[in-house]
Chains A and B, each alone.
Chain A
Amino acid sequence: MKTATINTDTNILSENGIQFPSKVMLDLHNLKKVYPTPKGDYVVLEDLNLQIMKEEFVTIIGHSGCGKTTMLSMIAGLNPISGGNIAVLGNPVKGPGPDRGVIFQAPSLMPWMTALENVLLGVNQVFPHASKKERKDIAKYYLHKVGLDGSFDKKAIALSQGMQQRVGIARAFAIKPKVLLLDEPFGMLDSLTRGELQDILIEIWNKEKITAVMITHDVDEAIFLADRVVMMTSGPRAKIGDILNIDFERPRTRKSVLEHDDYYKYRKHLIEFLEH
C-alpha cells in the first residue's frame, strides 16, 4: 500500500513524489561533497539533509574545517555538487546566479569602484530594464539602509573594513535575491563593529524577510540572528548534528535577547554541542 508522507509544516509530497508548492525555499537532499586526493577520496560532506523555509533565518555553526563553507558555496553554485541535490523553490541548483545573493567573508568589493558603483554592478545585472535613475535609486536606497549616506562616491579601497562589509550587505540585498548566503561576514571585524553590523543586517532583514543562511563561529551571533541554529558535526563526512529552534519574538533587540530566560539555555545547548 502506498502511503503519502505528510508533514504539515514542511513538504507536502503526493503519492508519486511530486512536490506541491510549499513553504520550503531551500532543500538540500542527501548532499555529498568529495575531493579527490592522491591518497584516495576525501569525503567532506555526506548524507546532509536540510530544509530551509521561506522567510527563515538559519545560522550554521560548527568547528573550523567541518565543511560549512563548502556547503554554502555549493548552495551558491560556486562549488560543484558530488552527490545528492540542492533545490531552490524546487529548481535544482546548476550554477551561480543572482537568485542567491552572497556576502563573503572578505568584503570582496571591486577596489577601483566607488561604493555606489559596487552596488550598481549587481543592480544593473538584475534590473536591466529599469531606467538608469531607477537603478541608481535602488542602489542608493540600500546604501542609505546600511548607513553609508555620505560615502556613495568614495572608492571602496578608501573605506574601512566595516564600511566595506556594509557595502557588501547593500550589494547583496539590492539584487533582491530569493536566498541570502552569508559566509562568516563579520568574522574579520572587531566586536564593536560586528555588533553594529549585526544590528544593521537584522534591521534590513526584518523589512525584506529574505531567506537567509549564515555561517558563523560566534554562538551569541548565531542565537541573536537566527530562527534556527543548525549544528554541523566535525568532518570528514560531516552532516547535520542537531538543530536548535530559537523562539524569541521578532523584531528582537540585543537587550531583550540577552535578558530572556531562555538565552542561557540556548547558549548552553550550543556550547555543549561544540565541546563534544
Chain B
Amino acid sequence: MKQSITLNKITQLMGFGFLKPITALFTGKPQKEDIVNFLKKIIVPLLSILLFLGVWQGGSKALFNKEANFKIEKALADQGQAAADEIRACIASGEISCQPNTLPSPSQVWTSFKTLLEDHKVISADKLAFKEKTAVMNEKRIAAGKEPITYTGRPSFVDQIFTSLKTVFAGFLLALVIAVPIGVVIGLSTTLRSSFNWLIQIFKPVSPVVWLLLVFMIVKTLTKDSNSDSAFIISFISVGLCSMWATLVNTAMGVSSVDKDYINVAKVLKLGPMQKVFKVILPSSLPLIFTGLRITLSVAWMVLIAIELLAQSPGLGSFVWEEFQNGAIDSNSKIIVAMFIIGIIGFLLDRIMLTIQNMVSFNKNEGV
C-alpha cells in the first residue's frame, strides 16, 4: 500500500499523472472505478493511436497509387505501351529502383527506424575498432606533441541525437545565464523595465533564421584566427538567443509582481536589499521563472532543428536535411523517423522541466 502511494507521488510529480490508472490497476486490489479509469485513460488513447496509424496508412497508400499512376501514364505518353507495362510490373514487384517517391507508410518508417539502429551498431563497432587500432599510435603522437587522430567517419543517427541534445543544452544554459539575471534586474526596477522594454518587444518576435545570420556575422569574425568548432558555437548561441526571451519576460514579470504583502513584511523587518532579493523576491518568483525556462527549453528544441539545418552544424537538423537532399528510396521514411524522435525528445525535455518546476515551486500545480 505504502509503495503504491510513493509510486503515485512520483508519477504525479513527473507529470505522468496519466500513468496512474495503470499503477492503480497493478498495485493493490483493482476497484471497479480503477477499471473504468483504465479503459478511459489507457484503452481509449491506445485506440486513438490505432486510428492515427490507420489514417496514415490509408493516406500513404492513396498517395502511393497517385504517384504510381502518374509514372505509368507518363511512360505511356512518352514511350508507349511496352514501357508502361514494364514500369507497372516493376512497381508491383517491389523493385526498389522504380518505387514512387512519396509519403512512406508506417511499416516503412518502422523498417527505417530499425535500419538506423542497425546502422548505429555498425558505426559504433567501427568507431571502437578504429579507436583500438589508433590507441598506440595516438599515445605516441601525444607524446610527440602532435594532435591525436580522431575518427572522422559518418556519424550515426544516435550520434546525431546526442549532438543535438548537446547543442540544445548549451543554448539553454546560455539563455538561462543571460535571461535570469537580466530579468531579475529589470524586474526590480521600473525605470530599467521601461527603458529596455522596446528592446525586448522588438527582438522577441525575430525569426530564428535571422538570429542565426546575426550570430554568424559576429562569430565568424571572432573565430577567424582559431580553429574551434564554429558551427557548434554559432548554432548554440543562436538557439540561446532565440529561446531566452520567454525566460527574460517571465522572470521580469515574476520579480515585479511579487505579492505586496511579502514586500511589506520585508519592509517592516527592514531586510537588506540582498536579503530581500534572495529570501523574498526570488523564491516567490521561482514558479514564473521556471514557467519561462520550460518555454525556453521547448522553443530551444524547436528552433534547434532549423538552425542546425542552416548552420550545417551536425545534429538532427542536418540529418533531416541530408536525407532530403539524398533522395534515396528510404530517405522519406528516415525523415519521418527523425520527426517522431524530435517530438518524443521534446516531450521528455518538457517533462523533465516540469518535474524540476514542481520540485522547486511552493504551490504545486500539475502542469498542462
Contacts and interface: CB of A to CB of B under 8 A. Distances in A.
A108 B363 contact: no
Given A112-B284, A112-B362, A157-B363, A78 B270 contact: no
A172 to B, nearest CB: 9
Contacts of A235: none
Contacts of A126: 269
B261 A125 contact: no
A157 B365 CA distance: 13
B264 A104 contact: yes
Interface in B237-284: 259, 261-262, 264-265, 267-271, 275, 279-280, 283-284
Nearest to A104: B261
A258 interface: no
B287 to A, nearest CB: 10
Interface stretch (A50-58, A95-103, A144-152): A95-103
A110 B269 contact: no
Most buried by A among B262, B268, B283: B268
Interface footprint category on A? 20 to 34
Contacts of B269: 98, 121-122, 125-126, 175
A187 interface: no
Contacts of A101: 268
Contacts of A76: 268
Contacts of A113: 283
A178 B268 CA distance: 13
Contacts of A96: 264, 267-268, 270
A106 B263 CA distance: 13
B194 to A, nearest CB: 22
Contacts of A102: 264-265, 268
A111 interface: yes
B261 A108 contact: yes
A95 B270 CA distance: 10
Interface in B304-359: none
Contacts of B267: 77-78, 95-96
A125 B264 contact: no
Contacts of B280: 110
Contacts of A108: 259, 261-262, 264-265
Contacts of B264: 78, 96, 102, 104, 108
Shortest Cβ-Cβ A-B pairs, 9 listed = A108-B261, A112-B362, A96-B267, A112-B283, A111-B362, A122-B269, A125-B269, A96-B268, A102-B268
29 contacts: A76-B268, A78-B264, A78-B268, A95-B267, A96-B267, A96-B270, A97-B268, A98-B268, A100-B268, A101-B268, A102-B264, A102-B268, A108-B259, A108-B265, A110-B265, A110-B279, A110-B283, A112-B286, A112-B362, A113-B283, A121-B265, A121-B269, A121-B271, A121-B279, A125-B269, A125-B271, A155-B362, A157-B362, A175-B269
Interface of B: 259, 261-262, 264-265, 267-271, 275, 279-280, 283-284, 286, 362-363
Interface of A: 76-78, 95-98, 100-102, 104, 106, 108, 110-113, 121-122, 125-126, 155, 157, 175
